[in-house]
Amino acid sequence: LWGNLNSPKTGENLPTKKHQKNPQKLKPPSPSPVFSPLPSIFASPCLCSPLPRKLQAGRPARPASGIRGSEGPLRLGRAWARLAGAPKILVPWRTTLTRIGGQYGAGTESYFTLLRFLLGLNILGALFQGALTLLPLLLLGPIPGPPSQGVHQPCGPYDPLPQGLVDYPTLLINLLSGEGHLEWSPLFYGFYPAQLSGGTFRLPVAYLLSTFVSGLLCLLLILHRSVSGLKQTLLSESGALTSYSHRIFSAWDFGLRGAGPVELRRRALRYELQVELEEASERKRAEARTRAQWAGLWATRILLNLLVLAMLGAAFYGIYWAVDPNKVLQTPVLRLLVAYLPSIFISAANLLLPPVFGLITGLEGYPRSRQLQLLLLRTVFLRLASLVVLLASLWNEITCGGKPEAEACATCGYNSAERPCWETRVGQEMYKLLLFDLLTALAIPLLVQFPRKLLGTVCCGRLGRLLGTMEFQVPEEVLGLVYGQTLVWIGAFYCPLLAGLNAIKFLIIFYLKRFSLFFFCSPASRTFRASAANFFFPLVLLLGLAISAVPVLYGIFVIPPSKLCGPFRGQVTIWAAVPHAIQGLPRTARDFLFFLGTLSFAVPLMLVSSVLMVYTLTLASSYGRQVSKLKGHIKMESKSKVLLAQRIVALSGEERDL
């Protein structure tokens, strides 16, 4: 074979009878450039091997056409490849993510990819909110003033602007709590008027439309991302991607050039093989357990889950107590601390409990992938359920415990004495949670990671290694992103500029986490499959979106809006502004829109949707059966090939004996 590759002449360097008699004298020639090592290929200016040129040496040359004959199509192909790869250059942080994936594994890279995706979602949401609400207000005006300055009203008074001069400590408190001049600003719901000058642009409808469009866009983009990750997850769980051969023979990117990208890709493949080996060894250990070991393991799991439930209950009670207005800490000196008590309790629970959950999950004897899923589920339940407890406490306070006939809610339908503009109050809570989350993200590298790294370099021996070794905890960091994005989905209706603030926060967090990853953290000792992360992380995002939609829709359809602030003042409910706006449309459009809300349209739509769903499920089931049959055929073919190879070996042995 080497002789044919090194000479175009037929028969040159072929073994003769003399060589066949003395096989030890037969020396293979120097290997062809085709079989050169990978670094030499990457250093080559062209990836094309000289083999096709030598094979075509005896063929007549084609007539030259275009740009120097055959160089024309080659140049056109290269130009087209550069043009097709141009959009990849516009992808932000592409080089950084490649470096992270090569040094720390694909699981860590998936965190930063999700962070980039959420940053894009927040930028789109901020653009929609600004274009539909803030921009018309600034262009059409007028800028609204406070609703009641010294005038007593049945649902008031409500005057958020401070009187007289404000000292710097008060300004700092207002900045951190969203009160004072910041409360009556475009940042919060109460600032927006019910009608703009001219009366042609309906700001309440645009306000609702911006919320629904942003939520629908987030839903579609997350579904697209989760479906693309689902394909890899199904393949990996089916066993098609758990073999090592495809990673060794077909996972290399031969378009890489230079020592840096080659080394990063080599490390990424090493991490993937490490994940496969870890999961294979864990499956073998699970198969070797006896019945007694399984019984003890399940008893341990039950006790540990009871412990997890007890810790979650204690955390939720602390959050409920922090929101309760009847606290003895209501003093002027501790006003800022009292305002931040819910944020402090939620952040403390989110910081302290996930590491405990990680230790508990490691004691339950699950495989690494299952441990990751359980840790994510428990942490996401903690973070999202803490928000649910906070919102339930707020709704209980606003609606007088669900009793509109109560004395505090009988006049206006909500607790106007405590919360004259309850929508702004909810927006302030989300604003404080987001701000405290950012402060926590800034404090951890400065107050925890940097001192640990410094002590690790100063101390020697085992203590220094223990203090200085820090791993990037992907599940906890991902749940932090989901928690921050859920805050935005809940508070975007009550704080329209919250998506823009969250985009700035995510931008800061990206560079902060990248710095802490490269300077403080070491590669994870135990990695996990990136395909599971690419599907499970968007699934958690969908769960956060579904949970955030419940309180927002409850506030839109059930709770009466504030009478002294916001674009929906004077309405029975927030949604009542939509039928009121439809009444002003032409008759044809009005009748069509009202028809969409009747049973005459809803029932056929449900029937058609049900038929399409049944058809899709049936089609998917038939495809699944076909895939199972094809897998069975592949197994039979592999077994028959093994039997055939064994038969050939046996026959060759018999001939040798003869």
Q: How confident is the model at residue 513 (pLDDT cuts 50, 70, 90)?
A: very high
**Contact indicator for 431, 185 with CB cutoff of 8 Å:** no
| CA 192 – CA 611 distance, rounded (Å) | 44
CA torsion through residues 267, 270, 276, 277, sign? negative
Separation CA 157–CA 153 (nearest Å): 6
Model pLDDT for residues 159-215, shown as the tens digit of each residue: 777 776 777 777 888 888 888 888 888 899 988 888 877 667 888 899 999 999 999
Of the listed ranges 77-91, 371-385, 496-510, the one predicted with least confidence? 77-91
- Residue from 72, 102, 59 nearest 258 by CA: 102
CA distance 536 to 545: 14
Query: With contact defined as beta carbons under 8 Å apart, do 422 and 568 qualify?
Result: no
Q: Where are the domains of the chain?
A: 95-597, 614-658
CA nearest neighbour of 492 among 204, 177, 195, 210: 210
Q: Which amino acid is at 608?
A: V
pLDDT at residue number 59: 46
Pairwise pLDDT comparison (319 vs 534), residue with the higher score: 319
Indicate whether 575 pLDDT > 80: yes
> Ranked by mean pLDDT, which of 133-142, 483-492, 642-651 comes out on top?
483-492
Q: Is residue 411 within 8 Å of 510, Cβ to Cβ?
A: no
Of 312, 314, 280, 306, the residue nearest 364 (C-alpha): 306
For residue 360, what pLDDT is reported? 85
pLDDT in tens, 276-304: 777 777 777 777 778 887 888 888 888 88
Q: How would residue 532 be classed by pLDDT, with cut points 50, 70 and 90? A: low
Contacts of 252 (CB under 8 A, 6+ apart): 38, 265, 269
Q: Give the pLDDT confidence score for residue 375 in this predicted structure.
A: 80
Structural Rg of the chain based on CA atoms: 33
Distance separating alpha carbons of residues 653 and 658, to the nearest angstrom: 9
On average, the pLDDT of the chain sits at 76
Contact 147, 158 (CB under 8 A): yes
Find, among 508, 486, 513, the residue nearest to 499 by Cα: 486
**483 contacts 491 by C-beta, under 8 angstroms:** no
Among the listed residues 242, 231, 229, the one whose alpha carbon sits nearest the alpha carbon of residue 533: 229
Q: Provide the phi-psi class of 464: left if phi over 0, else alpha when psi is between -120 and 50, else beta.
A: alpha
pLDDT at 111 over 50: yes
The more confidently predicted of residues 127 and 106 is 127
Average pLDDT of 381-398? Answer: 84
For the residues 418-435, what does the mean pLDDT come to? 89
For the chain, report the end-to-end CA distance as a whole number of angstroms.
Answer: 31
Confidence at 366, pLDDT banded by 50, 70, 90: confident
Residue whose tokens read 């707020």: 394
Whether the CA torsion 50, 51, 53, 57 is positive or negative: it is positive
89 burial level (CB within 10 Å; 0-12, 13-18, 19+):
exposed
Sign of CA dihedral 33, 35, 41, 47: positive
The 10s digit of each residue's pLDDT in 598-639 is 888 888 888 998 999 898 888 888 887 887 888 788 878 878
Sole residue written with tokens 């539909």? 132
CB-based burial, 178-209: b 16+ in 10 Å, e otherwise: bbbebbbebbbbbbbbbebeeeeebbbbbbbe
Question: For residue 40, what pLDDT band results from cuts at 50, 70 and 90?
Answer: very low
Q: Which residue has the tokens 């009641």?
A: 148
**534, pLDDT greater than 70:** no
Measured CA to CA, the distance from residue 68 to residue 62 in angstroms comes to: 11
- Rounded average pLDDT over 373-397: 82
Is the bond preceding residue 538 a cis peptide, omega within 30 degrees? no
Give percent of the chain above pLDDT 70: 76
**pLDDT tens column, 194-205:** 887 766 788 889
Q: Please state the separation of Cα 89 from the chain's center in Å.
A: 22
Number of residues that this document lists for the chain: 658
Mean pLDDT over 327-352 rounds to 69
* 222, two tokens: 């997350």
CA distance 33 to 54: 12
Q: Is the pLDDT of residue 11 over 80?
A: no
The SS3 call for residue 471 is strand
**pTM confidence score:** 0.74
